[in-house]
Structure 1
Amino acid sequence: MLAPDRAYLAMHPNLRPPMPIEHSQIANWAIAEGWPGTSKHIPLTQATFPALLELPGHYSYCMGESGAAPLGFGQIWLNQANGTTNLVRVLIDPQRRGQGLGKLLCRLLLAEANRISPGQAVKLRVYRGNHAAVSVYRALGFETVVGESNAEVLAMASRKC
């Protein structure tokens, strides 16, 4: 397992747009993770992944230094239909999991969400069986939204940004 330099990352956290050359790698992470097969009626494949980045109201980010391989990926979705700010498609490189990078990525995404949509609570949905992600979200102050959850998925919202 490759270990990032935690001290460096803590001092130099960086969100940047994903580069086209990285789309295939990130799509592979998503497919392996078992992301839902479609989003906005677009099937998830390597070929269609770039279209998911272009959906209206979606802001896409990689975590990592410019020119270096991404450590993680996530999107902020400003849902105009219901006025919510959402974290979606959050992933860490499978070879780098278990090192605190998920929490760092989510903190960076939350800060960015607060920058582009100040003061608004942030929502997300996560598979109930994804215990590591649920733990990260709870540690960051997310709480379950019972009325929006179901047997398979927890809906969660931040207490504050």
Structure 2
Amino acid sequence: MRRRNVSSGDLLVGDPDTPPAAEPPARLQTEFTFQLPRGYVDEDGQVHRDGSMRLATARDELAPLIDVRVKQNPAYLSVVLLSLVVTRIGTITTVRTETIERLFASDLAFLQDLYRRINAEGHTLAEVTCPACETSFDVDLAGSRLGES
């Protein structure tokens, strides 16, 4: 490692066997919290709006392709996929395909977009522009603070 002594202008040579100080590794966020636009209504009529979704694995993306329901109706792929990666909706911690099927269409679309954002883009932010003043700013589409892994 070579560097200049600022005060004298001399060239200083550091120990070549000493690695530069490494930064601590960044922690990968693998779980994201969200708030559904309408909410999931359970059998008792209780509305569940907050939840969490984890990052998808390669297995998550491949497993639905052998599901009979997906083979019969390719549109069902997102239902199966979301049931694998949504870890919680309100107090429901075992999210099944039946849970995803019972979501309102706007909530399903919201989760599909959230899935795409966190798995393809790595974040839940979207740039928007105010129609009145034309100021651009970021909005967190998850609707709440991001979760921690």
Higher relative contact order (CA 8 A, sep 6+): 2
TM-score (norm 1): 0.28
- Structure with larger Rg: 2
